[in-house]
Amino acid sequence: MAIDLETTGLSPLVDKVIEVAAIKVDQAGVTTWSKLINPKVEIPAFTIDIHGITQDMVQDSPVLSEVLTDFLDFVGDLPLVAHNARFDIGFLVFAQHQQKMKLRKNDVFCSVKASRKAFPQMENHKLGTLAKALNLGLENHHRALDDSLACLRLFNKAMEQENKKRVLKDSLLFNLEGFKKNKQLDLPDKLKVLIKKVEKQILVDIKYKGGSHKGKLRPVKPISLLPMPEGNILYALCLLSNLHKSFALNKIQEVKELNAEEISKRFKDLDKVVKNT
């Protein structure tokens, strides 16, 4: 089962779903499910530029809560695969949490991880890049049903290219039931300052309990606020290591907003470190 969601942003804890689609392959054959969703908020212009879904297109569509049960019944307990799956699945898990719905037992696989295992030579592992290089037939990129089909084709090609068991092992993220361990999916009030920072990916300093920079302020570029089985995380680019990292929200002790001068200084300091290494 391949799924894809189009959304108003990258953070399941604050952004909204505007399209859901899935392609099921089972003994009955191939069936599809697809719906536009009314997010009941304004769709940002920068996301419209990506997926082309406008306010007019969704104004008469159902809200997610009205179709979620129907979608989950279509999915059942089948294994799920999505491209950058933790983002798509995060939206579904958070929606089920809000509706107080029981989580299913689906294993979740990520086609990005499968692609990195099977096609390490690729320039990058974006779905558009892979679709072109591997002839996946992606006609309407960033529309949910087309992306679901391309994702399914990619996953199949990855298993044909590499050892099937190894691809499945390396691309498995989690089982949805694992989210039972995450008792608090809502965003804590003290960290709601991150919402706007994530939306515009504005640099901030955070003080974090763990890691080599424990208890000290570190500059990060926020990308997403994600629910994960072990707890909610801030997914961000850490300027100290120049790596994308996951920071557990319950370990973030402080978020310091930065003005333009401070942001500029952080990047200048990073440049000095790079030049001296």
SS3 per residue for 1-63:
CEEEEEECCCCCCCCCEEEEEEEEEECCEEEEEEEECCCCCCCCHHHHHHHCCCHHHHCCCCC
- For the chain, list the domains and their CATH numbers: 2-180 (3.30.420.10), 189-275 (2.30.30)
Measured distance CA(127)–CA(133) in Å, rounded: 10
Q: What is the three-class DSSP state of 248? A: strand
How far the first Cα of the chain sits from its last, in Å, is 46
Q: What is the pLDDT of residue 268?
A: 80
pLDDT in tens, the chain (277 residues): 999 999 999 999 999 999 999 999 988 899 999 999 999 999 999 999 999 999 999 999 999 999 999 999 999 999 999 999 999 999 999 999 999 999 999 999 999 999 999 999 999 999 999 999 999 999 899 999 999 999 999 999 999 998 999 999 999 999 999 998 888 888 888 899 999 999 999 999 999 998 788 889 999 999 999 999 999 999 999 998 889 999 999 999 999 999 999 999 888 877 665 455 4
Alpha helices (H) in the chain, listed in sequence order = 45-51, 55-58, 64-75, 85-98, 111-118, 127-134, 144-161, 164-171, 194-200, 260-275
Measured distance CA(91)–CA(235) in Å, rounded: 15
> Which residues are CB-contacts of 221 (< 8 A; sequence separation ≥ 6)?
201, 202, 203, 236, 237, 239
Q: What is the pLDDT of residue 271?
A: 65
Q: What is the pLDDT of residue 274?
A: 47
Amino acid at 200: K
Q: What is the pLDDT of residue 254?
A: 93
Q: What is the pLDDT of residue 187?
A: 86
Measured distance CA(216)–CA(267) in Å, rounded: 17
